[in-house]
Structure 1
């Protein structure tokens, strides 16, 4: 809604399975190729301009960085023209089963299964095992990275490592650290983040 209010044609893409207003969906063996197809369909939509961006938060940030990296590596046409990621990890994370994040007393609770994987690419987990660094330096387009300095979910050090690696490869990402903010920013932090995010996409799209 944020982007639509400011004149962008926005499409919230759901890559998790299941879930509802109270519980998040699962991210288990999601084929990233499907996101490529969705992105291609969005580009071909008659009301879309020539340039299309991609934004993700948390696991969505991981999804965005992986998509940009893999499409660049395999030279797949139609990659995002700009990517923004808030609270991203710098490595591939394991599968997400929302049942593992419920209270232990909840009848739907389930222990985390470390053997499950979050993502596939062209039918394989190769290069997508947990702790594999996300090679976002492959992506040639504009990048926006942001992170709260008091993130209790994923350390701000993850974005700092991404920034360092990008600089080592001659890249100049737009990077913003929100002092005292957690994984999801406060109202004040959100306002600051949205202003910077909109400025980024207005510049590159």
Structure 2
């Protein structure tokens, strides 16, 4: 396929993990960071919270894109006991989070929003994956938080890095835990008349 005929996908996120997921799937998106604040969202549920932020990110970047593109905004949060958790505010916060999560199940929600800037069409949906956390010892929690990894991600863990050993099983799309559900994105782009293989650049 010629480069000129390939749909232009713009990732409205600074997340290295989301970019890695797309690249592993054969897609090299453009990256434009949204710069959207996450502090003033009012939502009824964790899933809605993630979706609202994804929509804000996609909309913020779509207004800055001059040529035709499909702009993808995503945001992830962890739900535990009905509470919404994003990135830990500090190492102490991460330790307390893990003490609450260990040996239990949480739900990782990722909001996805795709805007077709040419036609002004938008599709948005949330993917949710149940995560069973291992029953970590205090020493394991301290060591993990000490690496700094839990401070940079929603839910205070990365399944595709050091935290992978602390997730015993998942129910749902494992890509969603990394921050982007590939099956959901394929369906959403299909709703916008994009043939998924047309996005492959290798």
Same fold judged by TM-score > 0.5?
no
TM-score, normalised to structure 1, is 0.29
Relative to the length of structure 2, the TM-score reads 0.29
**Normalized per residue, which structure has more strand?**
2
